[in-house]
Amino acid sequence: MIKINENFEKLQDSYLFSTIAKKVAEFQKKNPNKKIIKLGIGDVTRPIPKVCIEAMKKAADELGNEETFRGYGPEQGYDFLRKAIKENEYNDLKINEDEIFISDGAKCDTGNIVDIFSKENKVAITDPVYPVYLDTNVMSGRSGKFKDGKYQNIIYMPVTEENNFIPELPKEIPDIIYLCFPNNPTGTVLTKEELKVWVDYAKKNKSIILYDAAYCEFISDKNIPKSIYEVEGAREVAIEFKSFSKTAGFTGVRCGYAVIPKTIYAYDETGNKILVNKLWNRRQCTKFNGTPYITQRGAEAVYTKEGQKEIRKNIEYYKENARIILEGLKEIKIKAYGGINSPYVWLKTPNNMKSWEFFDMLLEEANVVGTPGEGFGPSGEGYFRLTAFGTRENTIEAMERIKKLNIN
């Protein structure tokens, strides 16, 4: 008799964004003439830079020519892209090309990385949190049972208005620590000094930090690090994940990368040091056939002069959307955070409304979709996320609709 992985039974009924999609679809079916503006899911609206499109077209043509055809590529990524990433992102941070692994996105990497770690490891996540970090550890058997809104074996680190959205060092020592800055969903950031506290904590306790820096290009404050490797000692304890999705519009094309320095070690049952880079390379060679050549040529073009010019233009476009959202919320006296070094605005729901209650009100009365904070974890209750990834016209219209609501 075939048996299932019963850890999947411990997952909550539905993935957050599929629940939202279902609610929106039901509302649209009942109200076919209503124009719904979606500021919920973090999908982009600006087109892929032209220089990237041209690079992918050229790569596609190469595959149609016998002399330039390429079949299976290296699981770790083509050298040309790894070199471009090193030279443009990490040249001053002592990261080598063989420490960069190309993938189909940060979502897959942050989920798959748990394959190489023991099920006995204790995991710490910020709360609220991007659901992938939690759910993949539930699937892997690290979570324990779900009770009173939390998994019993997961260490939750609240990030709320009360602690200025800066997680406190957990008293119970974790083996794996998830950090994401600029943060999804709160849009908040940590300074280099604040991040150094976590690096020192991980070194002291032989922990590993899984650092999601997918939104780093939205940072404009020079005191905020774009990479954890700007922090002394991070190369010994931190794995970094980045993506081309939000910067170059690759949400549909799919391309990201993980950085695993050869100075990070984990331990076997007898206490022997094992190189984490080697484990991840072995995992990828077994389970991953590599990111498509066409995609990687498109990503490489991001680092050309024209590519950088175009992605900066796109990022500034989204940052202006975030400013519009923040200003609109300020006008109606709703507290909001993030949106400065991040594309996400994290607002305090008015009148002590529950986050799903606020979701329903926005959808039904303003026909605007956002993301309920409670869907990101128990500490997200009472908060709500709006994204700046919409079009300018829709962002302006959405805020005009919200301002007309009888909220305060």
pLDDT digits (tens, 9 = 90+) for 296-351: 999 999 999 999 999 999 999 999 999 999 999 999 999 999 999 999 999 999 99
Q: Looking at the structure, do residues 264 and 353 belong to the same domain, yes or no? A: no
Q: Looking at the structure, do residues 135 and 261 belong to the same domain, yes or no? A: yes
Cβ contact 250:300 at 8 Å: no
User: How large is the average pLDDT for residues 109-131?
Assistant: 96
pLDDT value, residue 408: 66
Q: Looking at the structure, do residues 290 and 329 belong to the same domain, yes or no? A: no
Which domain, by its residues, includes 41?
6-47+306-403
For residue 181, give the DSSP letter.
S
State the CATH number of the domain containing residue 70.
3.40.640.10
d(CA 329, CA 190): 24
Choose among 35, 102, 19, 37: nearest CA to 389. 37
pLDDT value, residue 406: 77
Q: How much is the pTM?
A: 0.96
| 1 located within any domain | no
Q: Looking at the structure, do residues 139 and 84 belong to the same domain, yes or no? A: yes
Q: Which of 272, 304, 336 is the last residue of a domain?
A: 304
d(CA 209, CA 261): 12
If DSSP codes are grouped into helix, strand and coil, which group holds residue 124?
A: strand
Q: Looking at the structure, do residues 252 and 386 belong to the same domain, yes or no? A: no
Q: Looking at the structure, do residues 285 and 337 belong to the same domain, yes or no? A: no
pLDDT above 70 covers what percent of the chain? Answer: 100
- Match 């016209």 to its residue by tokens: 393
Residue 106 tokens read as: 């940060």
Residues 6+ apart with CB under 8 A from 70: 62, 63, 293
Q: Looking at the structure, do residues 15 and 98 belong to the same domain, yes or no? A: no
Instruction: Using pLDDT thresholds of 50, 70 and 90, give the confidence band for residue 17.
Output: confident
d(CA 346, CA 386): 7
| Count of the separate structural domains present in the chain | 2
Instruction: Using pLDDT thresholds of 50, 70 and 90, give the confidence band for residue 16.
Output: confident
Q: Looking at the structure, do residues 170 and 206 belong to the same domain, yes or no? A: yes
Q: Looking at the structure, do residues 42 and 100 belong to the same domain, yes or no? A: no
pLDDT above 90 covers what percent of the chain? Answer: 94
- Read off the pLDDT of residues 200-234 as tens digits, 9 standing for 90 and up: 999 999 999 999 999 999 999 989 999 999 999 99
- Read off the pLDDT of residues 171-202 as tens digits, 9 standing for 90 and up: 999 999 999 999 999 999 999 999 999 999 99
* Alpha helix (H) residue ranges in 207-304: 245-248, 276-287, 293-300
d(CA 355, CA 266): 39
Q: How far does CA 221 lie from the centroid of its chain?
A: 20
pLDDT value, residue 187: 96
Residues 6+ apart with CB under 8 A from 405: 332, 361, 362, 365, 366
Q: Looking at the structure, do residues 276 and 310 belong to the same domain, yes or no? A: no
For residue 148, give the DSSP letter.
T
State which amino acid sits at residue 253: V
Choose among 406, 362, 389: nearest CA to 24. 362
Positive or negative, the Cα torsion across 58, 259, 104, 37? negative
* Alpha helix (H) residue ranges in 332-391: 355-361
Residue 121 tokens read as: 């490891």
Q: Looking at the structure, do residues 253 and 385 belong to the same domain, yes or no? A: no
Q: Which of 268, 284, 304 is the last residue of a domain?
A: 304
Q: Which of 257, 279, 304 is the last residue of a domain?
A: 304
User: How large is the average pLDDT for residues 143-154?
Assistant: 94
- Match 């991840």 to its residue by tokens: 280
| 295 located within any domain | yes
Q: Looking at the structure, do residues 232 and 262 belong to the same domain, yes or no? A: yes
Choose among 262, 284, 291, 256: nearest CA to 275. 262
User: How large is the average pLDDT for residues 235-255?
Assistant: 95
State the CATH number of the domain containing residue 31.
3.90.1150.10
Mean pLDDT, the chain, whole residue set:
96
